[in-house]
Chains A and B, each alone.
Chain A
Amino acid sequence: MGQSKKKFIDKFITYTILILGSVIMLVPFVWMVLTSFKTYAETVKLPIQWLPSVWNLDNYREVLLKLDFIRYYRNTILVTVLTLVLMMFIGSLSAFAFARMNFPLKNPIFYMLLTVFMVPAQMTMIPKYLIISNLGWVDSLKAIVIPNLFSVYTMFMLRQFFASIPQELEDAGKIDGCSWFRLYWTIELPLCRSSFVAMTVLNILWCWNDLLWPLIATSSDKMRVLSVAMATLQGQHGTEYHLLMAAGVMAIIPMIVIYTFGQRYFIEGIAFTGVKG
């Protein structure tokens, strides 16, 4: 009897703490959504008005149309899709070569690539800016995309997955006269699909949310991505939180959707890169 009572209390305390923590985790989201439906007057009312009096989409309309967020959405989607497709292709193809093929200078080249690991990206942003500026790319979407395509980290992680595939499969493919590219594309890549998707999801998140590089690489209004547009909006409309929160909700919704559907991959990816990385 005493034992089960103790267990019950233990469970009760665990739940209480976890629920309290969850509330803290969720309050910013709830407040963001509530504020995004309020009018300006309602946001600065004292005593505080918790709920909007009318649930209308005026703020969203204003942010999308007047503040041009449709364009920023389009830019961000374009940048994210282009970056991800090319980055994952380049990364996995080189990972495959380093994991499964033999060629002279393999290790020296691999270690040379890994040196960029040791250096924070913030150290190289000035030269990167100078390079794209010499190429005449500044203030275009390709200036955001191209320098980000070469993810040594993605290559490094995927190489481990490719290396864990049994040799027999490769040999069977070779006997059938598979070309190296077909070996990569039709046999090995599908086998590490789940880790490939996990890496993709992590990279989407990073690409969508990144601020510093797009901020440097673009300057005009037309080329802004969401993160830059939000930071600019904060500067210009710093106190109009009803608009800022509507913009914020729109900027995070795509990631929340991806997270909801690909939750397994997020958590797998995070846990995998965490434990083995």
Chain B
Amino acid sequence: MKKKKFKREWLWAYIFIAPMVIGTLCFGILPILYSIGLSLMRWDGLGEKAFVGLANFGELAKNEKFVYEIRNTLVYTVCSVPITLILSLGVANLLNKGLKATGFFRVIYFLPNIVMPVAAAMVWRWLLNSKFGVVNIVLKALHLPAPNWISDPKYILTSLIIVSVWTGVGYNAIILLAGLQGISASLYESARLDGAKSRQIFWKITVPLLTPTLFFLLTMSIMNSMRMFDMVYTFIGSADQGGPIVDASRTVVFGIYEKAFRFMSMGSASAEAFVLFLMIAVVTVIQFKFQDKWVFYE
């Protein structure tokens, strides 16, 4: 009797998980293996596949566009992640002061995060327009240098970083605010009774207790930055001409997309996809290795 009941439970459980398991196998796990396999082949998507071993990786290393893609992705990540985190830590701290309008500010700061990245890139492309853009008009009025944000290869990456900071500050600030509100008030009180100054309290209590949240945000933001695509595509990708401006902003995911769906070279695109996986994996492993050096768990 009891055994029968268990069997029924098993049967139902398998039915419940079947769609998820089958779907994940087809569109998750199988593609991972397939992608690794493709990275070892030469294939134009239509004809015969030819096994070439690691040749795709060797060719990538010699391809200067690939080098730009890695460089831009790293520069973008190394700049946008810390700037966003530091600014959002500041905003979260101000929001945590118990002002009456906190809820209102929280809504405003989070707003950019819900905007379609394509639309965000579009409006910033307009704001940063060298001639008619609001940013340069303001800069000129203040007698500051007003560069060609979009068409000058020197500045395009900066423009992308500006957009990503604008989008990311609110999201990060809300998570940090939740972290700040989780710190018990009694800790602050006893520190103040001991005569600690606000700056000391911030560095000795707030920051250490916030490190788990900071660690989470750092991990997620780095992963997201390394996969950046939408903004680059909207900024420059639809311009087919290529050239220095595209090279100055192409990212790894843009490279994968271009190789696979414009040049139909599935093998080297998959090889680059594998490189992306390795980059993210290495950074994540390093972060988890070093987390006990600075992350403080209660």
Task: State the main secondary structure of chain A at its contact with B.
Answer: helix
Chain A 232-250, CB-CB to B under 8 Å as 1, else 0, gives 1011001001001100100
Chain B 19-36, CB-CB to A under 8 Å as 1, else 0, gives 111011011111110110
| Cβ contact within 8 Å between B238 and A234 | yes
* Distance of A258 Cα from B296 Cα, bound (Å): 37
* Distance of A255 Cα from B110 Cα, bound (Å): 12
Chain A 201-214, CB-CB to B under 8 Å as 1, else 0, gives 00001001101100
A274 within 8 A of B: yes
B16 within 8 A of A: yes
B178 within 8 A of A: yes
* Distance of A149 Cα from B134 Cα, bound (Å): 41
| Cβ contact within 8 Å between B31 and A255 | no
Within B132-150, the residues touching A (CB, 8 Å) are: 132, 134, 137
A145 to chain B, nearest CB (A): 11
A37 within 8 A of B: no
| Cβ contact within 8 Å between A212 and B257 | yes
Residue of A whose beta carbon sits closest to that of B87: A21
A175 within 8 A of B: no
For the complex, count residues of B whose C-beta is within 8 A of A: 94
- The listed residue (A28, A90, A235, A277) touching B23 by CB distance below 8 A is A90
A44 to chain B, nearest CB (A): 5
B246 within 8 A of A: no
| Cβ contact within 8 Å between B23 and A275 | no
* Distance of A230 Cα from B230 Cα, bound (Å): 11
Within B237-292, the residues touching A (CB, 8 Å) are: 237-239, 253, 256-257, 260-261, 266, 269-270, 273-274, 276-277, 280-281
Report B-chain residues with C-beta under 8 Å of the C-beta of A248. 116, 119, 122-123
B92 to chain A, nearest CB (A): 11
Report A-chain residues with C-beta under 8 Å of the C-beta of B126. 31-32, 35, 241, 244-245
Contacts A48-B134, A98-B17 given; does A28 touch B166 at CB 8 Å: yes
A134 to chain B, nearest CB (A): 11
| Cβ contact within 8 Å between B9 and A101 | yes
A164 within 8 A of B: no
Contacts A245-B126, A275-B179 given; does A97 touch B13 at CB 8 Å: yes
B51 to chain A, nearest CB (A): 17
Within B205-237, the residues touching A (CB, 8 Å) are: 213, 216-217, 223, 226-227, 229-230, 233-234, 237
| Cβ contact within 8 Å between A116 and B28 | yes
Report A-chain residues with C-beta under 8 Å of the C-beta of B270. 126
Report A-chain residues with C-beta under 8 Å of the C-beta of B157. none
B76 within 8 A of A: no
Report B-chain residues with C-beta under 8 Å of the C-beta of A130. 34, 45, 266
A115 to chain B, nearest CB (A): 7
| Cβ contact within 8 Å between A90 and B20 | yes
| Cβ contact within 8 Å between B132 and A123 | no
| Cβ contact within 8 Å between B166 and A113 | no
| Cβ contact within 8 Å between A124 and B31 | yes
- Please list the residues of chain A having a beta carbon within 8 angstroms of any beta carbon in chain B: 11, 14-15, 17-18, 21-22, 24-29, 31-32, 35, 43-46, 48, 90-91, 93-94, 96-98, 101-104, 106, 109, 112-113, 115-116, 118-120, 122-131, 146-147, 149-150, 152, 155, 179-181, 184, 205, 208-209, 211-212, 215-216, 226-227, 230-232, 234-235, 238, 241, 244-245, 248, 251-252, 255-256, 259, 263, 266-267, 270-271, 274-275, 277
Q: What 6 A-B pairs come out closest when comparing CB atoms?
A: A235-B238, A150-B23, A127-B31, A274-B175, A124-B31, A127-B34
Q: List 25 A-B contacts (CB under 8 A).
A: A18-B105, A26-B111, A32-B123, A94-B20, A102-B6, A103-B13, A106-B13, A113-B21, A113-B24, A119-B32, A123-B32, A123-B273, A124-B27, A127-B31, A150-B19, A150-B20, A180-B9, A211-B233, A212-B233, A238-B239, A241-B129, A270-B110, A270-B171, A271-B177, A274-B178
